[in-house]
Structure 1
Amino acid sequence: MSKGDKIIVGISIGDLNGIGSEIVLKTFEDSRMLDFCTPVIFANVKLMSFFKKQYGKEINFHGIDTLDKIVSKKINVLNVWKEQVEIKFGEEDFKIGEYAIKSLSSAVKALKEEAIDVLVTAPINKANIQSETFKFPGHTDYLNQELKGDSLMLMISETLRVGLLTDHVAVKDVSAAITRDLIENKINTIHKTLIQDFGVEKPKIAVLGINPHTGDNGVIGDEDDTVLRPTLDNLRNNGKTIFGPYAADSFFGSGNYKNFDVIIASYHDQGLIPFKTLAFGSGVNFTAGLDRIRTSPDHGTAYDIAGKGLADHSSFRAAVFSAIEIFKARKEYAIIADNPLKISKRKPFVKK
Structure 2
Amino acid sequence: MHETGKIKVGISIGDLNGIGCEVVLKTFEDERMLDFCTPIIFASNKTISAQKNLLGIEINFHGIHDASKALDGKINVVNVWKDLPTIEFGKNSKEAGSFSIKSLRDAVKALKKGDIDVLVTAPINKNNIQADDFNFPGHTDYLAKELEGESLMFMVTDDLKVGLLTDHVAVKDVAKAITPKLIKEKVKIIEDSLKMDFGIRRPKIAMLGINPHSGDNGVIGKEDDEVMKPVINELFEKGHLVYGPYAADSFFGAESYKNFDAILAAYHDQGLIPFKTMSFGKGVNFTAGLNKVRTSPDHGTAYEIAGKGKADHSSFKEAVFMGIKIFRNRMEYLELTKNPLRKQRIKR
TM-score range, shorter chain: over 0.9
| Correspondence 1:169 to 2:133 | no
Q: Distance in 2 between the 1:164 and 1:341 partners?
A: 35
Structure 1 residue 253: Cα displacement = 0.3
**CA distances 1:200-245 after superposition (whole Å, capped 9, x unpaired):** 0100100000111010111111000111011111111111011111
CA drift of 1:347 comes to 3.9
One-letter amino acid of the structure 1 residue matched with residue 149 of structure 2 = G
Pairwise CA distance, 1:3: 6.6
**Quick check: 176-185 or 331-340, which moved more?**
331-340
Structure 2 residue matching 1:77: 3-state secondary structure = strand
Aligned residue in 1 for 2:46: 46
Query: What is the 5 A alignment of 1:103-118?
Result: 103-118=103-118
Q: Separation in 2 of the partners of 1:344 and 1:240? A: 20
CA distance, structure 1, for counterparts of residue 196 and residue 32 of structure 2: 28
Deviation at residue 151 of structure 1 after TM alignment: 0.1
Closer, same or farther in 2 for the Cα pair 1:98/1:333, shift >3 Å?
same
Q: CA deviation at 1:177?
A: 0.6
Q: State the secondary structure of the residue aligned to 1:135.
A: coil
CA separation of 1:225/1:340 partners in 2, compared to 1, >3 Å: closer, same or farther? farther
Which residue in 1 is equivalent to 2:123? Answer: 123
- In structure 1, the residue corresponding to 2:285 is in which secondary structure? strand
Aligned equivalents of 1:131, 1:245: Cα separation in 2: 39
SS of residue in 1 equivalent to 2:83 = coil
Alignment match, 1:337? 337
Identity %: 63
The 1-side partners of 2:37 and 2:201 are apart by 27
Q: How far does the alpha carbon of each residue in 1:3-32 deviate from its partner, in whole angstroms, 9 at most, with x for none?
A: 742100000000000000000000000000
Q: 2:57 maps to which residue? A: 57
| Mapped pair 1:240 → 2:277 | no
Task: Report 1:100-249 matches (<5 A).
Answer: 100-249=100-249
Q: What's the offset of the Cα at 1:341?
A: 5.6
What RMSD, in angstroms, separates the aligned Cα atoms of the two structures? Answer: 1.2
* 1:171-197, Cα deviation, whole Å (9 max, x unpaired): 011011100000000001100000000
> CA 1:12–1:3 in 2, change beyond 3 Å: closer, same or farther?
farther
Match of 1:274 in 2: 274
Letter in structure 2 aligned against 1:27: T
With structure 2 as the length reference, what TM-score do the two structures score? Answer: 0.98
Secondary structure of the residue aligned to 1:95 is helix
| 1:250 counterpart = 2:250 | yes
Kept in 2, the 8 Å contact 1:3–1:38? The answer is no
* Other structure's SS at 2:345 match: coil
Give the structure 1 partner of residue 91 of structure 2: 91
Other-structure match for 1:25? 25
* Conserved? CA contact 1:201–1:344, under 8 Å: no
Q: Tell me how far 1:55 sits from its aligned partner.
A: 1.8
Q: Rate the CA distance shift 1:221–1:2 in 2: closer, same or farther, 3 A.
A: closer
Measure the CA separation in 2 of the matches of 1:330 and 1:222: 39
**Is the 1:3–1:71 contact (alpha carbons within 8 Å) kept by the matching residues of 2?**
no
Q: Given that residues 215 and 222 in structure 2 are in contact (C-alpha distance below 8 angstroms), is that contact kept between their aligned partners in structure 1?
A: yes
Shift of 1:344: 4.1
1:267–1:14: structure 2 CA closer, same or farther, 3 Å change rule?
A: same
Counterpart of 2:251 in structure 1: which amino acid? F
Aligned mates of 1:204, 1:344 — CA distance in 2: 19
CA offset digits 1:83-113 (Å, max 9, x no partner)? 1211000000011100000000110011011
The correspondence of residues 271-350 of structure 1 with structure 2, limited to 5 A, is 271-340=271-340, 342-347=342-347
Q: Please identify runs of 4+ aligned residues in structure 1 that moved more than 3 A.
A: 1-4, 338-344
In the alignment, structure 2 segments of 5+ residues that lack a partner are none
Instruction: Quote the Cα distance in structure 1 between the aligned partners of 2:145 and 2:322.
Output: 23
Which residues of structure 1 form unaligned runs of 5+?
A: none
